[in-house]
Amino acid sequence: MRLNNQRESGNVEDRRGSGFGGGGEGFGGRRGGIGIGSIAVALVASYFFGVDPMVVLGLLSDMEPSGQARVAARKPPAEDEMARFVSKVLGSTEETWRQIFSENRASYREPKLVLFSGVTPTACGTGQSAMGPFYCPADQKVYIDLVFYRDLKERFHAPGEFAEAYVIAHEVGHHVQNLLGISDKVRQAQQGVSRAKVNALSVRLELQADCFAGVWGFRANEAKQIIEPGEINQALTAASAIGDDRLQQQTQGRIVPESFTHGTSEQRMRWFRRGLDSGDMRQCDTFKAASL
Ligand SMILES: [Zn+2]
């Protein structure tokens, strides 16, 4: 992707490495600096008590008075680059959706994006890395553990930056649905109906988020030519790779359509493509579509 001219979002909350319950801080102003003094204390303590020095450091880092010499807790450079990339993609979705909302005389409330590792608390319960990236409507935050991108590449064979961006754009699509009241309506319609109906509604919600991701792709590319040749196919591969039928085949070895919650590979590609070709949200009414 061409993101050189793209500003980073100010809405990224970096909780990586802070462990469960760690309150994040804005991007760049990361907490977790550890003073030289506390490293010495940790080493001494671990020597005498047989405790892992990192455990002691973890206990000490929150008590550290500010303003003294610090050894910054650095992330591996590759992960920091990944975090900057995600932040730029989020920035691009902010510009795009702000524009679309204002064209419709509405104002766009930007979601936050939380980078975490392992587990993290959310207003929707405990977020876990194994869940893959997700959006929590109750706190209006997108959650992602960047290890998911390794899975996308290695396990789902869907490499490429636009594929990675599509994942963020899909979650932001859920945020747009939340702002528009669509998610609430779906949740209401899911009360007291059969499991098959609940899942069918969920599929429509997911395919619409794919279509909204496509709308972002079209509009952002129109504004800043961010998509490079061949990248659309990469994103389609990702949409296809995380279709329910493909995932079920991989995990259960068989396909049970009533239990689909995201749509088949073919459907996910089609609805993403529909947004990407038109750049028009009105093309994304999966709830009115006779067939998906
Ligand atoms: Zn989704």
pLDDT for the residue 263: 87
Angle at CA of residue 156, ends 155 and 158, nearest 5°: 125
Distance 49 CA to ligand 1 centre (A): 47
Average pLDDT over residues 94-112: 97
pLDDT for the residue 26: 39
Residue type, 180: L
Using the predicted structure, report yes or no on whether residue 73 has a pLDDT greater than 70.
no
Distance 170 CA to ligand 1 centre (A): 6
User: pLDDT per residue over 148-166, tens digit each?
Assistant: 999 889 988 889 999 999 9
Task: Output the CA–CA distances (angstroms, integers) from residue 182 to 186, 239, 285, in the order listed.
Answer: 6, 22, 11
pLDDT for the residue 74: 56
pLDDT for the residue 245: 76
Distance 209 CA to ligand 1 centre (A): 6
Distance 134 CA to ligand 1 centre (A): 7
Distance 55 CA to ligand 1 centre (A): 36
pLDDT for the residue 25: 40
User: pLDDT per residue over 205-233, tens digit each?
Assistant: 999 999 999 999 999 999 999 999 999 99
Distance 207 CA to ligand 1 centre (A): 8
Tokens representing residue 71 in the block: 């050894």
- How many other CB atoms are there within 10 angstroms of residue 188's CB atom? 9
Using the predicted structure, report yes or no on whether residue 38 has a pLDDT greater than 80.
no
Nearest alpha carbon to residue 168 among 101, 92, 236, 269:
92
Distance 58 CA to ligand 1 centre (A): 34
Distance 262 CA to ligand 1 centre (A): 7
Distance 144 CA to ligand 1 centre (A): 13
**What's the rounded Cα separation, in Å, for the pair 142 and 116?**
11
Distance 131 CA to ligand 1 centre (A): 11
Angle at CA of residue 158, ends 20 and 18, nearest 5°: 15
Average pLDDT over residues 27-33: 42
Distance 197 CA to ligand 1 centre (A): 17
Using the predicted structure, report yes or no on whether residue 182 has a pLDDT greater than 70.
yes
Using the predicted structure, report yes or no on whether residue 22 has a pLDDT greater than 50.
no
Average pLDDT over residues 262-279: 94
pLDDT for the residue 40: 57
Using the predicted structure, report yes or no on whether residue 121 has a pLDDT greater than 50.
yes
Distance 51 CA to ligand 1 centre (A): 42
How many percent of the chain have pLDDT more than 70?
77
Distance 245 CA to ligand 1 centre (A): 15
The full 3-state SS of 254-268, as one line of letters, equals CCCHHHCCCCCHHHH
**What's the rounded Cα separation, in Å, for the pair 64 and 67?**
9
Using the predicted structure, report yes or no on whether residue 8 has a pLDDT greater than 70.
yes
Answer whether 228's CB lies under 8 Å from 235's CB. Answer: no
Task: Say whether 226 sits in a helix, a strand or coil.
Answer: coil
Its pTM stands at 0.79
Element at 126 (helix H, strand E): strand 125-128
Using the predicted structure, report yes or no on whether residue 290 has a pLDDT greater than 80.
yes
Distance 124 CA to ligand 1 centre (A): 15
**What's the rounded Cα separation, in Å, for the pair 93 and 169?**
7
Answer whether 240's CB lies under 8 Å from 246's CB. Answer: yes
Distance 20 CA to ligand 1 centre (A): 24
> How many residues comprise the chain?
292
Distance 22 CA to ligand 1 centre (A): 26
Distance 173 CA to ligand 1 centre (A): 8
pLDDT for the residue 17: 79
Mean pLDDT, all residues of the chain: 83
Distance 253 CA to ligand 1 centre (A): 22
Average pLDDT over residues 249-278: 84
Task: Say whether 133 sits in a helix, a strand or coil.
Answer: coil
Distance 236 CA to ligand 1 centre (A): 15
What distance, in Å, lies between the first and last C-alpha atoms of the chain? 30
Nearest alpha carbon to residue 93 among 167, 184, 203:
167
- How many other CB atoms are there within 10 angstroms of residue 97's CB atom? 25
**What's the rounded Cα separation, in Å, for the pair 267 and 289?**
12
